[in-house]
Each structure stands twice: as structure tokens, then as C-alpha cells.
């Protein structure tokens, strides 16, 4: 069997990237011939599979993110058509893939949720955004493409949104929850490490501690969480956020 996995770039903090990384290792161990179609996979293990790097040029000034994603999608579509694959699984919104893993959710639903928190000018800017308009178009084109056989979701929320926003039949949606390594994430390991981690943060064992793990802070709800922290009755509560955000990094560089 020859299979293609598609993910535009590697982010060591990203859940989708970790999924692809582990799926690659498992498929290779089963003797499957696997191609990874990507723009940039630096920093990740790369053994036992063929990496096809396609980084077509695009205009950062005139096209920005929309041009970047469109150029990669067009290159990936050409590779899917020429590769002779029995299965193509994409983690990007690329029309023509056979299986799509909706690890980033439904963009149309997220924009609607996000709009509720925006001012009127910001909502208008969101509606007119070339990037969001591109993603919405790509999302619809992919979900309506005849090649699409299955969409994998990791939550009932996303599965329901696919039906609500695009009328995708339930038979074409597979709900597969993210797995948990119970040997690594075991209560005994947590108990052994909790005291050391709290000491490193300068917290005693009675201080309430909240943890959020995720990249892309706006999408993951960090602003709303900070607002909730302000309203908490326990003023001694502490919050730890683990992840990365490109907008925050850009602000720090300024």
C-alpha cells in the first residue's frame, strides 16, 4: 500500500504535528510505503518514509497567508494526482484528499464564535479578510469534493459542526478521540512530580494552579481564560500557559 500524509509544516507544540509524527512511525513499522508531503518538516524525526518538500513561491506582500496556503494546496494536489496513492490523508484543507483529519476544527464555526467577541469594525475586517475567505472556500471545496471519503474528528463538537455548517452526512464522519499514553501520563508520575514542579514555580501545595497547554492562544481561548482569572474569587490562583503563539512572538520582537 502506498499512502500520502499531508501537513504543511512542523511545530513541536502542535497536536496535529505530533499525531502525524506518531502515525508515520506506526505506518512505517507496519511496512506501509508512506510519503509525507510538507512545506517544512525541520526538527521532527524523519526515518523510514519519503519526505516530499514542496515550497512554491508566493507573494508575502500581496498575498500573505492566503497565497502561502493556496500555493501549497495546489502543489499538494498535483502530487496527489501523480503519486499513485491508494490513500491520501490531509491535515490541511485541500480539495481532492480522500481522508481529512479535522484537527483544527471547522473554520466557519470558529469564525462565528470569534465574531461574538469582536467589535463591529473587527467583525467587518474578519468578513473581508482574504485569508479567512480563502480558508472558507477551501474548506467547502474539500468537503464537497467527490474524492473525500471520510472526515476524522476528535470531538463530538467538531463532528456536529460539520453537519450543521456543511450538511456532511454522519456516515462520512469518524469520531476518534485522541489517545493517551497511560504509562507516561499516569497518576503516580503526576504525584511524584507535582511537588518538584510547584517548588520550581515558587508555589506551595495549597495554591490553586491552572494549566493550559496549546498553541495559537486566540483559538485556544487564552484571552477568555485571562478574563475569567480576573473574576476569580481566589486571588491567589496561578495560571501556567504552555505553548507558542506567533502573534505574541512578533509583539515581543518589537
Both 128 and 208 in one domain: the answer is: no
pLDDT digits (tens, 9 = 90+) for 161-214: 999 999 999 999 999 998 888 888 888 888 778 888 888 888 888 889 999 988
Task: Quote the CA–CA distance of 154 and 10 in Å, as a whole number.
Answer: 20
Averaged pLDDT, 12-24: 78
Query: Which CATH number fits the domain that encloses residue 46?
Result: 3.40.50.2000
Both 230 and 203 in one domain: the answer is: yes
Both 162 and 241 in one domain: the answer is: no
Both 143 and 195 in one domain: the answer is: no
Task: Quote the CA–CA distance of 7 and 117 in Å, as a whole number.
Answer: 30
Where a domain ends, among 175, 204, 219? 175
Average pLDDT in the chain:
89
Check: CB of residue 195 under 8 Å from CB of residue 202: no
pTM > 0.85: yes or no: no
Where a domain ends, among 175, 209, 231? 175
Question: Considering its fold, how many domains does the chain have in total?
Answer: 2
Higher pLDDT, 254 or 189: 189
Both 164 and 240 in one domain: the answer is: no
Domain ranges, residue 200:
187-247
Question: Which pLDDT does position 19 carry in this prediction?
Answer: 82
pLDDT digits (tens, 9 = 90+) for 93-151: 999 999 999 988 999 999 999 999 899 999 999 999 999 999 999 999 999 999 999 99
Check: CB of residue 44 under 8 Å from CB of residue 10: yes
| Domain annotation covers residue 196 | yes
pLDDT digits (tens, 9 = 90+) for 35-69: 999 998 887 777 789 999 998 988 888 889 999 99
Amino acid at each position: 500500500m502506498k499512502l500520502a500524509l499531508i501537513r504543511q509544516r512542523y511545530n513541536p507544540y502542535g497536536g496535529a504535528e505530533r499525531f502525524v509524527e506518531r502515525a508515520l512511525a506506526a505506518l512505517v513499522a507496519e511496512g506501509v510505503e508512506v510519503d509525507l508531503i510538507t512545506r517544512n518538516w525541520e526538527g521532527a524525526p524523519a526515518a523510514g518514509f519519503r519526505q516530499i518538500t514542496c515550497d512554491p513561491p508566493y507573494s508575502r506582500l500581496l498575498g500573505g497567508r492566503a497565497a502561502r496556503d493556496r500555493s501549497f494546496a495546489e502543489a499538494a494536489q498535483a502530487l496527489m494526482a501523480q503519486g499513485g496513492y491508494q490513500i491520501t490523508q490531509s491535515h490541511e484543507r485541500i480539495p481532492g484528499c480522500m481522508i481529512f483529519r479535522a484537527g483544527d476544527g471547522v473554520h466557519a464555526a470558529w469564525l462565528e464564535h470569534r465574531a461574538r467577541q469582536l467589535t463591529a469594525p473587527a467583525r467587518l475586517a474578519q468578513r473581508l479578510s482574504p485569508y479567512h475567505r480563502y480558508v472558507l472556500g477551501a474548506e467547502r471545496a474539500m468537503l464537497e469534493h467527490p474524492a473525500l471519503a471520510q472526515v476524522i474528528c476528535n470531538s463530538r463538537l467538531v463532528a456536529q459542526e460539520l453537519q450543521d455548517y456543511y450538511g456532511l452526512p454522519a456516515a462520512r464522519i469518524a469520531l476518534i478521540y485522541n489517545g493517551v499514553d497511560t504509562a507516561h501520563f499516569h497518576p503516580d508520575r503526576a504525584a511524584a512530580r507535582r511537588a518538584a514542579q510547584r517548588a520550581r514555580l515558587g508555589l506551595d501545595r495549597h495554591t490553586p494552579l491552572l494549566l493550559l497547554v496549546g498553541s495559537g492562544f486566540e483559538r485556544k481561548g487564552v484571552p477568555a481564560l485571562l478574563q475569567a482569572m480576573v473574576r476569580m474569587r481566589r486571588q491567589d490562583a496561578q495560571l501556567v500557559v504552555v505553548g507558542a503563539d506567533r502573534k505574541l512572538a512578533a509583539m515581543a520582537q518589537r
